[in-house]
Amino acid sequence: MAWVLLIALLPALAFAAMAPMSRAVRNRMQWLPLTAMSGSLVLSFAAFVEVWRAGLGEEPVWEAAVKLAELGGNPLEVGLRIDAITAVMLLVVTIVGLCVQVYSLGYMHKDERRGWYFAVLSLFSAAMLLLVLAGDFLLLYMSWEVMGLCSYLLIGFWHEEEGPRSASIKAFLTTRVGDVGFALGLAVMWATAGTFGFGAVARFNWGAGAGLAAASAVALLLLFGAMGKSAQVPLHVWLPDAMAGPTPASALIHAATMVAAGVYLVIRAMPIFIASSHENLHAVITIGVITAVVGGLLAVVQHDIKKLLAYSTISQLGFMFVALGAGSTGAALFHLVTHAFFKSLLFLGAGVIIHATHTQDIREMGGLRRALPWTTTTFTIGALALAGLPGLSGFFSKDEILVALVNIPDAYRYGLWEKWVLVGLMLFAAGLTAFYMTRLWIRVFGDNACSLARESHKKMLVPMAVLAAISVVIGWTQPAFLTFLGHEAAWPDPLMAGLSVAVFAIGVGGGWLVYGRQVVDTEVIKARFPYAYGMLANKLYFDLTYSELLVRPFHELAGWLSRFDQRRVDGVVNGAASWWDDFAGLLWAGDIRVIDGAVNGLGSLVKRAGARVREIEVGRVQVYQQLAYAGLLIVLLVVLLLPWLRVLLGLLVPMLRGA
């Protein structure tokens, strides 16, 4: 099955072909990434079928590795691995990727650098596909970083503006904070297990004591990396800002695929978590719950449609982490898949809306349901899927997470009430989802404000229709999906489903009462709870804390060190030179004149060149110059008079040896 490499290679080649071209040529090459992506999609289907036929569940269908290098004779290998998880991820990435590319044909058609946009999108797809094809943590890490680069390039795509510029660097650096953890995790993994391969690491016997501590370290360090990429609190701050990039890129990278890579990483690392300590999974669950709730709360107060969706993404990624913390990779992956489809759909819809209204502020929108019928329909499907309407995909996957939480293995040592506190918090987050999506829907489509907005081109609507259709049907595959992964097939649990429906109804109803019927004035609420609202409006002060406690001090430290370097470290050097000057002037003035005279020939060469020495340094330079001549003389003496060294050595050696 070596042909699976083509899945990642095709988009990579498309990028390689476009990157060196001039802007004009590149702009005419948009078909190339599209063709490559279509090829990848077909091949991904083929891979999926192969895996389906093999029906191996968690076991890989095919594995291969190549030697990257040898270290002290031991091979360092990277490789590919095809199993059920890979097959699913390949399909998700290629389907969403192709939809986004087709959509972008319409969305970006007036941009003068659209060729570069498509090229980077193609490189991103290649990296993401290689990431899911990878059979080891090293190759995963490498593609992970390349994705980060593409994310950076696309967030800052419109770099003439200040906003995208600073958002791009913020995104790269924040995720790289996580990557420091990831890289250290790899170092510990290599030092302990001596391998990076998924299978080999999973089979590795970490032993007890120090080995177990190492396993814990690996698990937590990889988790830290995952938190950066998947925007988990407290490393989530980059994702809302990342919305400064083109909207279809946000749909693909910052909603559907790249941000889910952290979840994917933890899925792959799950054997290490299980081998180490259940407390590491407690950490995963805690981070997930906090992120789900914080993301949901912050989404409620957003006015920017893209930022609202971004906080929603953060919250949903938190849901996936909760599933992981409960040890249920199946539930996490299922939610990853459904979320990829409906959230990218929502972003593409948001793109149409922004195109049509020329604003991202939902307070300036309204009544778009008449002007944008297609967009309204598909967006509504996406919103309901996200909010958890029974029958749509989000309902199934969210339910699966709640079930996983209730059925959390006893080995993880949760008390009964702890378990139900977690369930309660997740239900609260789910209710928030329904609430803020209702708010969004009413603000954008609801009121009767007259709108002159016009529906977008078919190129943009068709991909949305495709994603909407998938969002409707994919939930029903739940039992098959779980079987495919080698887990136990299950339909929603009646109790959890009932609770889900209840919070959905409460969320939507609440949203409708507040924003539709306006039974309460939101301004009154804001005035009544100024402290709480201030906290939310300021994004819980995460950004402020980082800029005041980390970024600014670093700027100051760098400035201080730079001055220290010049004045102190270099000051010692220059001080030594002028000390030498005084010393030499006092004692060996005559000698220096002799040496100086001896090398005058060479010196005049430099003197002719040195007419413009800064005044302050004149004194110092003269010393240096004299020393330089002396030094040159030594060199010349050593080189030219080497044979005479014999005399010296002949005298010295017996003396010293004798002594």
Q: How far apart are the C-alpha atoms of 353 and 369, rounded to whole Å? A: 11
Structural tokens at position 651: 């005298």
Candidates 76, 406, 506, 540; binder of other proteins (CB under 8 A) is 76
Candidates 521, 565, 582, 591; binder of other proteins (CB under 8 A) is 565
Of 218 and 442, which has the nearer Cβ to other proteins?
A: 218
List CB contacts of 368: < 8 A, sequence separation 6 or more.
Answer: 353, 356, 357, 375, 376, 444, 445, 451, 453
Residue 74 as a binder of other proteins (CB under 8 A): the answer is yes
Q: Draw the binding track, 118-147, toward other proteins (x: CB under 8 A; -: no contact).
A: -----------------------xxx-xx-
Residue 621 as a binder of other proteins (CB under 8 A): the answer is yes
Beta bridge partners of 69: 76
Of 196 and 198, which has the nearer Cβ to other proteins?
A: 196
Residue 658 as a binder of other proteins (CB under 8 A): the answer is no
Of 547 and 625, which has the nearer Cβ to other proteins?
A: 625
Upstream peptide bond of 530 is cis (omega within 30 degrees of 0): no
* SS3 label, residue 96: helix
Q: Are 256 and 197 in contact (CB under 8 A)?
A: no
Q: How far apart are the C-alpha atoms of 478 and 476, rounded to whole Å? A: 5
Q: Are 331 and 397 in contact (CB under 8 A)?
A: yes
- Residue 558 CB, shortest distance to other proteins, in Å, is 4
489 dihedral zone (left: phi>0; alpha: psi -120 to 50; beta): beta
- Residue 73 CB, shortest distance to other proteins, in Å, is 6
Candidates 202, 469, 595, 632; binder of other proteins (CB under 8 A) is 632
Candidates 2, 24, 53, 70; binder of other proteins (CB under 8 A) is 70
Q: How far apart are the C-alpha atoms of 644 and 637, rounded to whole Å? A: 10
Residue 156 as a binder of other proteins (CB under 8 A): the answer is yes
Q: How far apart are the C-alpha atoms of 513 and 223, rounded to whole Å? A: 40
- Residue 110 CB, shortest distance to other proteins, in Å, is 18
One-letter amino acid of 603: G
Question: Side-chain half-sphere of 247: how many Cα atoms within 13 Å?
Answer: 28
- Residue 555 CB, shortest distance to other proteins, in Å, is 8
One-letter amino acid of 327: G
73 dihedral zone (left: phi>0; alpha: psi -120 to 50; beta): left
Q: Are 350 and 309 in contact (CB under 8 A)?
A: yes
Of 187 and 587, which has the nearer Cβ to other proteins?
A: 187
Residue 549 as a binder of other proteins (CB under 8 A): the answer is no
Residue 186 as a binder of other proteins (CB under 8 A): the answer is yes
Q: Are 314 and 247 in contact (CB under 8 A)?
A: no
- Residue 499 CB, shortest distance to other proteins, in Å, is 43
Residue 633 as a binder of other proteins (CB under 8 A): the answer is no
Stretch that binds other proteins, among 388-396, 510-518, 533-541, 636-644 (CB under 8 A): 636-644
Residue 480 as a binder of other proteins (CB under 8 A): the answer is no
Residue 489 as a binder of other proteins (CB under 8 A): the answer is no
Structural tokens at position 328: 């249920």
Of 65 and 621, which has the nearer Cβ to other proteins?
A: 621
Distances (CA, A) of 470 to 92, 392, 476: 11, 10, 10
Q: Are 466 and 373 in contact (CB under 8 A)?
A: no
- Residue 658 CB, shortest distance to other proteins, in Å, is 11
- Residue 116 CB, shortest distance to other proteins, in Å, is 9
Of 62 and 190, which has the nearer Cβ to other proteins?
A: 190
Residue 620 as a binder of other proteins (CB under 8 A): the answer is yes
Residue 424 as a binder of other proteins (CB under 8 A): the answer is no
- Residue 225 CB, shortest distance to other proteins, in Å, is 11
DSSP summary character for residue 529: S
Candidates 165, 419, 457, 459; binder of other proteins (CB under 8 A) is 165
Token pair 């495709």: residue: 466
Residue 569 as a binder of other proteins (CB under 8 A): the answer is yes
Q: Are 235 and 174 in contact (CB under 8 A)?
A: yes
Torsion of CA 466, 467, 471, 473, to 10 degrees: 20
| Cα angle 260, 350, 337; round to 5 | 25
- Residue 276 CB, shortest distance to other proteins, in Å, is 18
Of 538 and 604, which has the nearer Cβ to other proteins?
A: 604
Residue 557 as a binder of other proteins (CB under 8 A): the answer is yes
Residue 561 as a binder of other proteins (CB under 8 A): the answer is yes
Residues 571-590 that bind other proteins (CB under 8 A): 573, 577
Residue 653 as a binder of other proteins (CB under 8 A): the answer is yes
Structural tokens at position 538: 């300021």
Q: How far apart are the C-alpha atoms of 578 and 591, rounded to whole Å? A: 17
- Residue 568 CB, shortest distance to other proteins, in Å, is 9
Token pair 């899945």: residue: 7
Q: Draw the binding track, 188-227, toward other proteins (x: CB under 8 A; -: no contact).
A: x-xx------------------------------------
Residue 428 as a binder of other proteins (CB under 8 A): the answer is no
Tell me which residue of 194, 177, 74, 84 sits closest to 137, measured CA to CA.
Answer: 194
Of 166 and 407, which has the nearer Cβ to other proteins?
A: 166
Candidates 2, 69, 208, 450; binder of other proteins (CB under 8 A) is 69
Residues 593-612 that bind other proteins (CB under 8 A): 605-606, 609-610, 612
Residue 634 as a binder of other proteins (CB under 8 A): the answer is yes
Q: Are 289 and 422 in contact (CB under 8 A)?
A: yes
Residues 291-330 that bind other proteins (CB under 8 A): none
- Residue 12 CB, shortest distance to other proteins, in Å, is 10
Structural tokens at position 551: 């970024």
Of 115 and 351, which has the nearer Cβ to other proteins?
A: 115
Tell me which residue of 143, 151, 145 sits closest to 127, measured CA to CA.
Answer: 143
Q: What is the DSSP string of 563-627?
A: HHIIIIIHHHHHHHHHHHHHHHHHH-HHHHHHHHHHTHHHHHHHHHH-----GGGHHHHHHHHHH
- Residue 487 CB, shortest distance to other proteins, in Å, is 32
Stretch that binds other proteins, among 37-45, 51-59, 457-465, 562-570 (CB under 8 A): 562-570
Residue 625 as a binder of other proteins (CB under 8 A): the answer is yes
